[in-house]
Amino acid sequence: MPKVVDHEQRRTEVAAAARSAIADRGLDGATVRDIAAAAGVSTGVLAHYFRDKDELLLQALRDSYAAAAGRMLRAGRRNPGLEAVRGMLEEELPLDDAGRTELRVWLAFWGRAAFNPALADEQAAGCRVWRKLIEEAIRVGIEDGSVRADAEPAEEAEALMAFVDGLGLQATLEPGRLPAERQRELLDLQLRRLRPG
């Protein structure tokens, strides 16, 4: 069914254009007209793929979270034990231009999700996946001895996710005070308590 594939492909492209427009101008600044222009389609064509702006934003958030989960999985495979946990968490921090763009988009969504149940559900689903990935990496670290044996994987994953969300938030709002190296130092401090001994 090539037509269906094209449709999905086009939805993904339009959602990517939406993420870029949101990162530049915020959720309210990014108009449907801007997004259509960035995606190289008319607003009429855009309306064929997304019923309204809310549906488009939901797809943009979903794609962004799925991309982050994919990066986390790959980072987890590249490193052993506790280093896998660190590599995965780094994928959620604004350490380079792509990360900073992503965090601005997430921040805009978080600000709206408190007032929009559909966005809040999407946010919760994305966080659940990330938490499970971190939890599993901690479990593997306990088995290979790089994480202290008495660590509670679910608890630690939850605390680490809160920490990384807060650090990403602060680094997005104060990029000068929290450059990549400083974020890595603070992540290192946070990971210290997982070390054995």
Name the one residue in this structure whose structure tokens are 């309306």. 47
Identify the DSSP state of 174: -
Q: Which residues of 39-78 are buried (b: 16+ CB within 10 A; e: fewer)?
A: bebeeeebeebbeeeeebbbbbbebbbeebbebbeebbee
CB of 73 to a copy of itself, least distance (A): 21
Residues that bind a copy of itself (CB under 8 A): 25-29, 104, 107-115, 120, 123-124, 127, 155-156, 158-159, 161-170, 172-174, 177, 185-186, 189-190, 192-193
- Decide whether 13 or 24 has the Cβ nearer to a copy of itself: 24
Handedness of CA 143, 80, 172, 39 (dihedral sign): negative
- Decide whether 41 or 119 has the Cβ nearer to a copy of itself: 119
Cβ proximity of 93 and 183 under 8 Å: yes
Query: Could you count the other beta carbons within 10 Å of the beta carbon of residue 185?
Result: 11
CB of 145 to a copy of itself, least distance (A): 20
- Decide whether 2 or 150 has the Cβ nearer to a copy of itself: 150
CB of 22 to a copy of itself, least distance (A): 9
Name the one residue in this structure whose structure tokens are 């921040």. 107
CB of 107 to a copy of itself, least distance (A): 5
Handedness of CA 138, 141, 146, 152 (dihedral sign): positive
CB of 121 to a copy of itself, least distance (A): 9
- Decide whether 49 or 109 has the Cβ nearer to a copy of itself: 109
- Decide whether 59 or 183 has the Cβ nearer to a copy of itself: 183
